[in-house]
Structure 1
Amino acid sequence: MTRITALPTDLVRALQDGGPDAHGQIPERTVSDGGSNPCRHCLQYIPEGAGMLILAHRPFPEAQPYAETGPIFLCAGHCARHQGEAVPEVLERAPDYLIKGYSAGHRIIYGTGIVIPQAEMMARAEAIFADERVNYIHIRSSRNNCYQARIDRE
């Protein structure tokens, strides 16, 4: 059994309250155009006219060769963290995603990465978790490589 895991609330609150991003910069504050600005905390699209943050995020505990850093969006105001087993809104629109497994040491497990149709993503995640070396899976944009969320075992 697997679940989609959003960014931790304590990390998001620090950023929403003006804390520095992965590059040590204060997140940019702007207004959503209502397009495709997915918040990585509530895992919903940020509504048109709502405040949002643009920042650099490294979804790893420390810098190391496999610790990719890239841009993400967050709601500027406090939002509720995504909970539950349903595929969240932000993962329903794209036709496919890049998923890849990581070890407990936060290193890519080679052979697990694949661009896969959205409808097949969670079943493929279950298959990737059959490899005992895999501790968690990242979901990334297949077109821009932006971090979306992670998949964990339940």
Structure 2
Amino acid sequence: MHFRITGLPAEPFAELFGLSDEALAERRAVRVVADQPHGYPCRVSLTDAEPGQSLILLHYEHHPVDSPFRSSHAIYIREGEQQYDRVDEVPDQLRRRLLSVRGFDGQGMLRDADVAQGTALEPLIERLFSDTKVSYLHIHMARPGCYAARVERA
């Protein structure tokens, strides 16, 4: 089964990088500098920031559905990144983490979910999509619980 993983589009976040720290705080966002490798995952490019790189940490509604599973969480974004959008490719950022993968139907209702190491993501995607009522998947970083990416059938 072919699948497509996408990060978030960059455009909705572009204006944030020009804001002052005070203006960011008014939007419940903060500017941070990565101080370790693999600790600051950009949700646009699905790459990890290198130590010393600046990011914005903000609250984001990643599942804006009209169901009890409507959801939001904190995410990191990095300036100048391009949206990850690939078929049958898992980015290194996801490969190196424990992931929670959730399958939703067309009404935004949870149909199934499981946890897997990123190195074993493809079999889990295939299993969840074997349910024909599953329309899309959301991948979350399992330990902090934050949204990482969307998966669709390709």
For normalisation by structure 2, the TM-score amounts to 0.83
Deviations along 1:56-94, whole A, 9 cap, x unmatched?
A: 11112356521121111110x221111323211211212
Structure 1 residues 11 and 133 mapped into 2: Cα distance closer, same or farther (>3 Å)?
farther
Structure 2 letter corresponding to 1:2: F
Corresponding residue for residue 141 of structure 1: 141
Structure 2 letter corresponding to 1:133: K
1:8 aligns with 2:16: no
Structure 1 letter corresponding to 2:7: A
Query: Displaced runs of 4+ in structure 1, greater than 6 A?
Result: none
Matches of 1:17 and 1:134, distance apart in 2? 39
Structure 1 residues 106 and 16 mapped into 2: Cα distance closer, same or farther (>3 Å)?
farther
Structure 2 letter corresponding to 1:8: P
| Shift in Å, 1:14 | 4.8
Alignment of 1:74-153 (within 5 A): 74-75=77-78, 77-85=79-87, 86-94=89-97, 96-109=98-111, 112-153=112-153
Alignment of 1:16-27 (within 5 A): 16=17, 18=19, 25-27=27-29
* Equivalent in 64, 68, 73 of residue 70 of structure 1: 73
In 1, are the aligned partners of 2:96 and 2:117 still within 8 Å (CA)?
no
| Shift in Å, 1:15 | 4.5
Identity of aligned residues (%): 25
Could you say which structure has the higher helix fraction?
2
**Once superposed, what is the RMSD of the aligned Cα atoms?**
2.2
Structure 2 letter corresponding to 1:151: V
Q: Secondary structure at the match of 1:44?
A: coil
| Ranges in structure 1 where 5+ consecutive residues have no aligned partner | none
| Shift in Å, 1:113 | 0.7
Matches of 2:53 and 2:117, distance apart in 1? 30
1:46 aligns with 2:49: yes
In 2, are the aligned partners of 1:100 and 1:113 still within 8 Å (CA)?
yes
Matches of 2:77 and 2:106, distance apart in 1? 26
Corresponding residue for residue 60 of structure 2: 57
